Structure 1
Amino acid sequence: MSLPDRKEAEVRRMLDVPHPAVPPDLAARAAERGRRILVRRRAVQAVAWALLLAAVAAFAVWAAVVEPWVVPPADTTPPLDGW
């Protein structure tokens, strides 16, 4: 028996046995689990958006107060030549 024939025979043998019984509430449980996953995913996305907006707002307030684009005043005066 060649390799593909042996694999085909194994598959046929696996498919010939009676199928296991499926629980009657399997579809309902799967749907409920999917709903929970979807609700959890939406909640995580909402929290992530809220954190992002809070970070942007905090950065805007910080930038407005500190004004990092303004050059700070010099601590020392330049030397005077010619006196």
Structure 2
Amino acid sequence: MNRAEREGAARQIMEQVPPPVPPDLCGEAVRRGERLLRRRQLVRRMLWLLACAAAVAFSVWAARVHPWAEPPSQTTPPITGW
């Protein structure tokens, strides 16, 4: 297909009458968009809730276990009877 044929095909497509748009297209798009926004908002809230629960669980665990403290040495026996 050369350039003239492509231009002719493009003109023919542009001169055609566009298909009719359904009357409820806008309303359906708005409903769908609102539903997607609500779903994204719910997912975002659930992820924040999960992150906060993980932070609280880690804080409680760290407060009880003290992972930063060095465990007592058990390589040498206690010295008694000096």
Name the TM-score, length of structure 1 as normaliser. Answer: 0.83
2:57 aligned partner, one-letter code: A
Query: Matched residues in 1 for 2:61 and 2:70: separation?
Result: 16
User: Aligned residue for 2:26?
Assistant: 27
Note the alpha carbon deviations across 1:27-77, whole angstroms, 9 max, x for none: 000000000000000000000000000011111111101101000011221
User: Aligned residue for 2:12?
Assistant: 13
1:68 aligned partner, one-letter code: P
Query: Matched residues in 2 for 1:56 and 1:7: separation?
Result: 62
Q: After TM superposition, give the deviation of residue 18 of structure 1 in Å.
A: 1.3
* Alignment gaps of 5+ in structure 1: none
Q: After TM superposition, give the deviation of residue 8 of structure 1 in Å.
A: 2.9
**How many residues were matched structurally?**
78
User: Aligned residue for 2:68?
Assistant: 69
Q: Deviating runs (4+, > 6 A) in structure 1?
A: none
Identity %: 45
* Alignment gaps of 5+ in structure 2: none
